[in-house]
Amino acid sequence: MRELIILAGGFGTRLKHLLNEDPKPLAGVAGKPFLHYLLQYLQTQSIDRYIFSLNYQAEKIIEYINQEFAHLNSIFVVEPYALGTGGAIAYASQHCTTQNFYVVNADSYFEIDFSELEKKSKLLNSKLVLASKQVLHPHRYGTFSSTEEGLITAFKEKQAITHGWINAGIYYISDKNIFDNCPEVFSFEKQILEQKTEELKIAHCEFDSFFIDIGIPEDFHSANQIFSEQKKEELIQTSRNRCLMLDRDGVINVLRKSDYVKSLSEFEFKKNLLIHLAKIQAYFGRIVVVTNQQGIGKAVMTEAQLDNIHEYMVDQMRTYGITVDKVYYCPHLASENCNCRKPKPGMLDAALKEFTEIDPKKSYFVGDSVSDVEAAKRAGVWSVAMVNPENQKQLEECVPNLVILSFDELIPKILEFEEEN
């Protein structure tokens, strides 16, 4: 049996002025309680039994679940008083019928495959596995260090760093006896995660799917845009005039440092790239690839070899329902100073000229270099920087319009950007 504890007892102090006296899980987001979106997703994870851990205004949440999600096999556990995050989980776990169970926070949304947490637990003999997400400027959350296979070695205090893995608030606990000898009121983060890291062999499982936590007003407002079906529908309705322009190396395929992709054996799609692009295909009338390939000018590969790579790339994308309308490439050396080599806008201009329906102000160029950002600006389309630890500082200094870690963030970022502009 797959049992899930949903922590829904928080006071929502930082959102109090936005909640209309409702508990935080019932905060109105795009016309529905935030809990609606969370439960819609959780129902895809084969949960057999939902255990709601409640405290503040518990009766309102109970009433909502009984009215809107009465079909769920739910029980409600109300804390006698505030027990802290650890005390709340331990108290609710007494109602689990098995030793193992999952835990989620009712104020965050992270679409993951729960089964991957359980697999990681068995692989590493870990009693606690958390879902992790790579984010920019993770000072709100704190980060951790880990081994290559995923065993966490230390949790770090909140600090002003540019890039890091965070605990995204979804857990798989394989043995509820980990709470034995804990006090009645305690912090899960301090007394379990930080103090029992090695003892429990705490591990993390990486996911790059969309994540949002509505704990602060800024993210609460973002959630209203992201979950708005009306906004998404408006975006799709204007898709005919929208173009998604993509750099290739480091954006579509894994970048070969100090080398070129010269053959099919050296071409590797970035992890989950095809899945993410398939999900956003409908928002763009056109998708084109724009790439510098001076390896031809250096005679380390031929145009025929490059065409073979691009034919393979386009065919593979097509199997996922992704249509690439054209691949533009510059074969020239940087020293030739041609107009098509980025940061000059020649290739982007060619796409705008060839596909006359494209509106530059509804189009986005995703790249991973300063020259990509500059080319977008010169062509009059919006620049999107795909960042990683190596390029983040340089890309942020050149001030792109949007910054993303992976394509699952693109549509939410566009929704926010276009609402503000």
Domain span(s) for CATH 3.90.550.10 in the chain? 3-218
Q: pLDDT value at position 388?
A: 87
Residue type, 386: M
Q: pLDDT value at position 138?
A: 75
d(CA 12, CA 19): 8
Residue 137: left if φ>0, alpha if ψ -120 to 50, beta else—which one?
left
| Active-site entry in 208, 247, 368, 372 | 247
What is the strand order of the sheet 382-386 is part of?
326-330, 286-292, 243-246, 364-367, 382-386, 402-404
Q: pLDDT value at position 164?
A: 80
First CA to last CA across the chain, in angstroms?
48
Contacts of 392 (CB under 8 A, 6+ apart): 136, 162, 163
Q: pLDDT value at position 17?
A: 55
Q: What is the CATH number of domain 3-218?
A: 3.90.550.10
Length of the chain: 421
d(CA 262, CA 277): 24
DSSP states of 95-163 as a string?
A: T-SSS-EEEEETTEEE---HHHHHHHHHHHT-SEEEEEEEEESGGGT--EEE-TTSBEEEE------SE
List alpha helices for 247-337, DSSP H. 273-280, 303-319
Instruction: Of 108, 198, 189, give the one whose Cα is nearest residue 142.
Output: 189
- Dmax (CA) for the chain in angstroms is 74
Q: pLDDT value at position 272?
A: 92
Asked if 247 is an active-site residue, the reply is yes
| Active-site entry in 22, 107, 208, 249 | 249
What does the block give as tokens for 101?
Answer: 């169970």
d(CA 331, CA 291): 9
Query: 3-class SS at 414?
Result: helix
CB atoms within 10 A of CB 377: 18
Q: pLDDT value at position 242?
A: 97
d(CA 146, CA 273): 25
Rounded to two decimals, the pTM is 0.84
Q: pLDDT value at position 246?
A: 98
Instruction: Of 44, 37, 34, give the one whose Cα is nearest residue 4.
Output: 44
At residue 291's C-alpha, the angle toward residues 266 and 328, to 5°, is 115
d(CA 386, CA 383): 10
150-155 long-range contacts (CB < 8 A, ≥24 apart) are 150/120, 150/124, 150/203, 150/204, 150/205, 150/206, 151/124, 151/126, 151/201, 151/202, 151/203, 152/197, 152/202, 152/203, 152/204, 153/197, 154/197, 155/189, 155/193, 155/194, 155/197
Domain span(s) for CATH 3.40.50.1000 in the chain? 230-420
Is the Cβ–Cβ distance between 289 and 248 less than 8 Å?
A: yes
Which neighbouring-strand residues pair with 173? 101, 128
Q: In a structure prediction context, what are the per-residue pLDDT tens digits for the chain, which is 421 residues long?
A: 999 999 998 765 555 555 667 788 998 899 999 999 999 999 999 999 999 999 999 999 999 999 999 999 999 999 999 999 999 999 999 999 999 999 999 999 999 999 999 999 999 999 999 999 988 877 777 789 999 999 999 998 766 566 788 999 999 999 999 999 999 999 999 999 999 999 999 999 999 888 999 878 888 888 888 899 888 999 999 999 999 999 999 999 999 988 999 999 999 999 999 999 999 999 999 999 999 999 999 999 999 999 999 999 999 999 999 999 999 999 999 999 999 999 999 999 999 999 999 999 999 999 999 999 999 999 999 999 999 888 888 998 999 999 999 999 999 999 989 988 8
- Cα dihedral: 339, 396, 154, 220 (round 10): -120
Asked if 359 is an active-site residue, the reply is no
CATH topology of domain 230-420: Rossmann fold (3.40.50)
Contacts of 96 (CB under 8 A, 6+ apart): 3, 5, 51, 176
> In terms of C-beta density within 10 A (0-12 exposed, 13-18 middle, 19 or more buried), how is residue 172 classed?
buried
Q: pLDDT value at position 421?
A: 82
Phi, psi of 400 (to 5 degrees): -70, 165
- Cα dihedral: 363, 386, 110, 2 (round 10): 120
